[in-house]
Amino acid sequence: MAHHPAWIERERMLIAGGITAFPAMVRATLERLRARIALDFFGIDFALLPDGRVLLFEANATMNFFPLSTHPLFAYAGAPAVAAARAALDRLIEEGVQRPRVGAAS
């Protein structure tokens, strides 16, 4: 992708903007995927096809963010993206600790 600056800029914008940066058709697909997976936290690896459809490569509860590219052109997809995912996981854990567990003794 290093020879395609327009693709790099598009990816940078999508990562920075989160799900709201995607076209409505993509958001709808990702929301359907979220409903089907039915997990509080999971990762997906996907591409956007030229016609706007989502091509899913992987979706699972043990998504690994590594290896991250060390190429300076792709720094936007490294530490900032991982930090955002980590913050979301930390919030989820904190909310879970505060929520009473099903079947817990009173």
Q: Which among 80, 68, 74 has a CA at the least distance from the CA of 2?
A: 74
CA distance 23 to 20: 8
Within-domain flag for 77: yes
What is the domain range of residue 29? 5-98
Within-domain flag for 103: no
Indicate the burial class of 44 (C-beta count within 10 angstroms; 0-12, 13-18, 19 or more).
Answer: middle
Helix/strand/coil for 89: helix
CA distance 98 to 100: 7
Domains of the chain: total? 1
pLDDT tens digit sequence for 36-88: 998 888 888 999 999 989 999 999 888 776 667 788 888 888 777 788 888 98
Within-domain flag for 20: yes
Within-domain flag for 49: yes
As a whole number, the mean pLDDT across the chain is 85
Within-domain flag for 73: yes
The pLDDT score that the predictor gives to residue 24 is 94
